[in-house]
Amino acid sequence: MSFFNKLKQGLGKTKSSLDEKINHVFSAFRKVDETLLEELEEVLIMSDVGMQTSITIIDALRNRIKKEKIEEEQDVRRILKEIMKEILEVEKPELHLETKPSVILVVGVNGVGKTTSIGKIANHLVKQGKKVVVAAADTFRAAAVEQLEIWAKRSGSIIVKKEEGADPASVVFDAIQKTMEIGADVLICDTAGRLHNKKYLMDELAKIKKVIEKEIPEASKEVLLVLDAETGQNAISQVKAFKATTDITGIILTKLDGTAKGGVVIGIVSENQIPIKFIGVGEKIDDMEVFNAQEFLDAII
């Protein structure tokens, strides 16, 4: 099955939630007027796009309708998707891995699929012919290291680990040495995800980043935040919390299959101006792909 078909299948609940509501709005109206726009705004809000983003989208739609003298339903739909696409394409989704080695730091709260995402990204890069090292720097969560070890094996990447409770920055230091020693292309670092203690998290991330800056200052760096799509609007507040502690360069959105809250993708990008880099629509190692705004919108509207 192609990834687009997996995406369509995985986003089935979001599609039935958003698309059916949009269809219902259009079937109830005979003309393009202010009442129609208000109903569409309500649909977007109810579909987890978010209040502010929904208002922004409908304002832009209103302006286009007026400017282009739109009167047909299919033109309103087309413009609605165009506006959403513009929001989602805030930046190209490709990873910036220009140097050898490059570093990807992966952050996120526990339970969002962080370890799984690392395994899938490692697999994605290995398939491109890159040599990948994974640093098991989430040393506090029980079984995190073992879990990452399984994913590293599946993806054909090399893991660097220490005992549970070890200093995360020291694991990253060892992983950098290993990366340099074997001439690896990319180092992916797992991190602890205890957001309730922001000060601790910030200090830990700062230490890890300091080690990376000292050992490989010229390396291209990506800081990817993993979010669980099922949390809906909570995902937006998680972005804000992590943005306060570290410079996020991209977002990985997991568990898009099985949720009706896929509309949150638009709100996340609009409110934070951070691109979605990868989306996950399943448990298998190849059920994660580089985000494509057009394919995403075609799957939900």
Taking the C-alpha atoms of residue 108 and residue 196, their distance in angstroms, rounded to an integer, is: 12
Interstrand relation of 221-228 and 132-135 (parallel, antiparallel or unpaired): unpaired
Taking the C-alpha atoms of residue 112 and residue 109, their distance in angstroms, rounded to an integer, is: 6
Which residue type, as a one-letter code, is found at position 280? G
pLDDT of 18-37, one tens digit each?
888 888 888 887 788 899 99
Per-residue pLDDT, 30:
78
> How many angstroms separate the Cα of 43 from the Cα of each of 15, 34, 116?
12, 14, 33
Which runs of consecutive H residues, i.e. helices, occur in the chain? 3-10, 12-27, 34-46, 51-68, 73-88, 114-127, 144-155, 168-182, 198-215, 233-243, 264-272, 293-300
Least confident of 124-133, 137-146, 147-156: 137-146
Taking the C-alpha atoms of residue 243 and residue 195, their distance in angstroms, rounded to an integer, is: 12
Backbone dihedral region for residue 41 (phi beyond 0: left; psi -120 to 50: alpha; all else: beta): alpha
> Quick one: CA dihedral 144, 230, 255, 61, positive or negative?
negative
CA-closest candidate to residue 151, choices 105, 188, 197? 188
The label of the residue with tokens 């809000």 reads 45
Q: In the structure, what pLDDT confidence band is assigned to residue 4 with cuts at 50, 70 and 90?
A: confident
Least confident of 3-7, 65-69, 102-106, 174-178: 3-7
Interstrand relation of 221-228 and 250-254 (parallel, antiparallel or unpaired): parallel
Per-residue pLDDT, 195:
58
Average pLDDT over residues 196-206: 73
Taking the C-alpha atoms of residue 95 and residue 88, their distance in angstroms, rounded to an integer, is: 16
The percentage of the chain sitting over the pLDDT mark of 90, rounded to a whole number, equals 52
pLDDT of 101-124, one tens digit each?
999 999 988 888 899 999 999 999
Q: What angle do CA 198, 204, 208 make, to 5 degrees?
A: 140
- pLDDT of residue 1 exceeding 70, the answer is no
Per-residue pLDDT, 170:
95
Average pLDDT over residues 127-140: 94
Centre a 10 Å sphere on the Cβ of residue 185 and count the other Cβ atoms it contains.
Answer: 18
Per-residue pLDDT, 197:
57
- pLDDT of residue 46 exceeding 70, the answer is yes
- pLDDT of residue 175 exceeding 80, the answer is yes
What contacts 39, CB < 8 A, 6 or more positions away?
25, 28, 29
- The first and second tokens of residue 51, run together, are 């209040």
Contact 184, 132 (CB under 8 A): yes
Q: In the structure, what pLDDT confidence band is assigned to residue 17 with cuts at 50, 70 and 90?
A: confident
Per-residue pLDDT, 235:
84
Q: What is the DSSP track for 202-267?
A: HHHHHHHHHHHHHH-TTS-EEEEEEEEGGGTHHHHHHHHHHHTTS---EEEEE--TT-S-TTHHHH
Per-residue pLDDT, 245:
76
- pLDDT of residue 202 exceeding 80, the answer is no
Taking the C-alpha atoms of residue 152 and residue 143, their distance in angstroms, rounded to an integer, is: 14
